[in-house]
Amino acid sequence: MDSAAITPAVRLAAYLAVKETVLEHQAPKAAQVTPRAWDKIRPMLSSAFSFSAGKITLPPDCDIDEFDLLFLRTELRLDPAKKKEPRYPTDPRVLDMIDLGIQPAEASKLAKFIVRTYGESHLSKAISASKEKVPPPLEPANYLLAVVKANVNAVASNGLVVAGMRPKRTRRFVRVANPEAAKTELVGWEAPSSTDGGIARYANGNRRLIYRLRNGHLQFVDPKPDQQVPGAEQDPGVIIED
């Protein structure tokens, strides 16, 4: 066998050691070569593999040692895992969250969410509060979010703008997989349709609550007479996208 065909042959053997068969048009991908390169080496592989009915298999009298087959299977199974292995976080705040007992992947996602939605200062304050809690929180992720929300509400109650808060976005219609089992859910307050001289204006004149109905459509509901309506600086609201 030509030296140019040896490496692709080993890759193909590794693939077949696990998959047992491959369609011939998929063989270049299994051997990790271009279609043009495959056309050149294919005749050289006919003595090492069985080509039949558009499929390729290892021959019944395959002379690959059982140990080598086991090694090939292991390598083929490990390679994708190595490529997809996530990097360990390096952000000091995420490392603090991991020390609190939150899994690395969840800590990274939660940190990004809090920073994007509420701002970096709220994340730092929540982490400090969680580290100072005695005994440590049993559910650190939930506790961290609770601290963030409490801080946000405290700031908003003073009429201050919460840094980093942006309007949420939702579709006007969302297909519901099982309407009979679905429930009507609160989406949030509607976002201002415009701003005039720093004053928020709303499509209906007053700010309304938005609910997602069981059929996937949205419903706008006026607040109750005694219900406190937050200002846009306290709650940016929800933007409806068609």
Sheet holding 218-221, edge to edge: 185-189, 209-212, 218-221
Q: Where are the beta strands (DSSP E) in the chain?
A: 21-23, 50-52, 55-57, 168-171, 185-189, 194-196, 199-201, 209-212, 218-221, 238-241
* Residue 151 CA from chain centroid, whole number: 27
Chain segment 81-119, per-residue pLDDT in tens: 444 445 656 788 888 998 888 888 888 888 888 887 777
What top-level class would CATH report for the domain 3-84?
Answer: mainly alpha
pLDDT given for residue 89 in this prediction: 65
Regions in the chain scoring below 50 on pLDDT: 78-85, 156-164
pLDDT given for residue 82 in this prediction: 46
> pTM for the complete prediction?
0.36
pLDDT given for residue 75 in this prediction: 52
Output the CA torsion sign for 134, 136, 142, 144. positive
pLDDT given for residue 159 in this prediction: 42
Bridging pattern class, strands 238-241 and 168-171: parallel
pLDDT given for residue 8 in this prediction: 81
